[in-house]
Structure formats: C-alpha cells, structure tokens
Amino acid sequence: MSGARPYWIIRRVLRWLVLLAITYLGIIVVLWFFERHLVFRPTSAAESWMPPVDGRSQDVSFVSSDGNTIHARWIPPETPQHGAILIAHGNGGNLTHRGPLAAELRKTLGAGTLLFDYPGYGKNAGVPTEEGCYASAEAAYKWLTDEQKIPPARIILCGESLGGGPAVELATKHEHRALVLVFTFTSLPAAAKYHFPFLPVHTFMRTRFDNLAKIGRCTRPVFIVHGTDDRVVPFPHSEQLFAAANEPKEFLRLEGQGHDLFIMDLYTSALAAFLAKYAP
C-alpha cells in the first residue's frame, strides 16, 4: 500500500497537468479563432450613425485598392493653406462617434479634418483586417491629395488608439506635415500581453500593427499623447514609441487620465503650439 500511494499521487498530478495543458491550449485556440472579433469592435450605421458636430461636415466616399467603398466625413479647412488632418480612429464604434474630435481639431488648428471608416465599420461593407485598415487609410490620403488638392506636406496624420497603426504606416510611406498619436500601443500583441499576460500572444496573434518597429522610419515631427491611468493601452507604450521616434518630437503626459476619447481639449492647444514650432 505504501508503495502504491506515491504512484497514485503521481498519476493524479499528471492527470491535472494534462487537463491544465488542454485547457490552456483550448483558450489559445478560441482566442486565435475569435481574434478579429476581439480586436475590431465595429458599430454599423444601422446600429448608430450620429449627426455631424460641425455643420460644415460633408459625407464623402472613395474606393480603396482592395475594392471596398470607404465612407468618410470631411470638414473643409479655413483656407487651403491650413491643410488637413487625416484621422484614423480606434477599434470601436464608427467615424461618427469621433465627430467632437474632428470639430475640436478643426476649430483649434483651422485645418480640414477627414474621418474615415475601416471595412465593416459604419456604412462600409466587408470585414475589418489589418490590411483593410491600411488600404482605407491609403485611400483617404489619396482622396485628400487628388480630390481636395491638399499638398502632402500640409497633411497631419492622426491616429487614435488602434488608429495609430494606419497612421504610422502612412507616415512611413508618404510625405506629411506631422504624425500625431493618441493613446497608441507599441504593437497589438504587446497590448494584448497586458490583458492576457499568461498567453503567448506574440506568437499566435496574426493582427500586428507593429508601430514600434516602424516609427523610427517616420522623418517628420511626432507628437504623442497618453494618459497615465490608461487601462486599455498602458502608458509605457507611448513612452517606448516616443523613445524610438526621431526628433523633433514631443510627449504630452496627461496625469490621471484614462483611455478617454473625449479629452481632446486637454491636448489640442499643446498640439497647435508644437506644430507652430516644428511643423509650421
């Protein structure tokens, strides 16, 4: 009996280890399968389509390189010399939920603002993917330069949270006035690791948005904003992006602020001062 007892304990421990391993692998498989649904949280126009905040807003559309019709909302600039801000929004809602941001930027900077949606968001058909976000941003940039005749050197690229991915990607490929990142992560797997520290997200995640690897190729001024109490994208992500960015650059630390879209009044005046100094 005494010899059988340790063997029984070992078998039981092994059984539990196998069960834990199966459960762990099961969680990985489920997250892998539902990754797109976890990353992208679109709201269709049928669910919510808010009226413009600025009465000068115009609903426009253009076609991306992958064949999707991309719907957008445009507020013209005060004068052509004021240029435009291309806003890539975060993973939730749709472009109409960023109306206050576009209106505040238009009021503070005088630049035109272009909000666009990704595939599967708002009035757009299709399903959202990393590649689809990049293609939508490319189409928005092309619409500004080709249709509105905005000089590339007068276009500010602004990315909010997940939108930092398309904004940084554009900044590595196209001429622009400045790059603005608000609550942006270093990479999506790194942000996921914060929420799921026990999972090998860097290995199995297909959606990357690797901003940290790209931002060093951005050669124009960089303005970064982040709240110290952000529980969605940790504050150190912006610190790392700022360290990797080229000069001239500025990092605005918002003490006590979380992942709140509607605090643009806390940074737009600082952004205006930064642009006047480094990207006039």
Residues 6+ apart with CB under 8 A from 48: 93, 94, 96, 97
Instruction: Give one word for 120, left, alpha or beta, with left for phi > 0 and alpha for psi -120 to 50.
Output: left
> What residues does 157 pair with on adjacent strands?
86, 179
The CATH classification number of 42-278 equals 3.40.50.1820
pLDDT given at position 1:
45
Residue 4: pLDDT band by 50, 70, 90 thresholds?
low
For the segment 116-135, the average pLDDT, to the nearest whole number, is 98
pLDDT given at position 158:
98
Angstrom distance (rounded) from CA 76 to CA 7: 77
Rounded to the nearest 10 degrees, the angle between the axes of helix 99-109 and helix 268-278 is 40
Phi, psi (rounded to 5 degrees) for 210: -85, 80
Q: DSSP assignment, residue 58? A: E
pLDDT given at position 6:
73
The whole-model pTM stands at 0.91
Strand extents, DSSP E, 143-193: 155-160, 178-182
Residue 13 has pLDDT above 80, yes or no: no
* Predicted confidence (pLDDT) per residue in 207-250, tens digit: 999 999 999 999 999 999 999 999 999 999 999 999 999 999 99
* Predicted confidence (pLDDT) per residue in 54-68, tens digit: 999 999 999 999 999
Amino acid, single-letter form, for residue 89: H
Neighbours of 135 (CB within 10 A): 21
* Predicted confidence (pLDDT) per residue in 105-124, tens digit: 999 999 999 999 999 999 99
Angle, alpha carbons 264-267-273 (nearest 5°): 135
The pair of three-digit structure tokens given for residue 110, joined into one six-digit string: 């005088």
For the segment 61-79, the average pLDDT, to the nearest whole number, is 97
User: Helix (H, G, I), strand (E, B), or coil: what is residue 182?
Assistant: strand
For the segment 32-60, the average pLDDT, to the nearest whole number, is 94
The total number of residues shown for the chain amounts to: 280
Residues 114, 74: contact at Cβ < 8 Å? yes
Domain locations in the chain as residue ranges: 1-33, 42-278
Residue 21: pLDDT band by 50, 70, 90 thresholds?
low
Neighbours of 72 (CB within 10 A): 24
Looking at every residue in the chain, the average pLDDT score rounds to: 93
User: CA nearest 211: which of 159, 267, 271, 136?
Assistant: 159
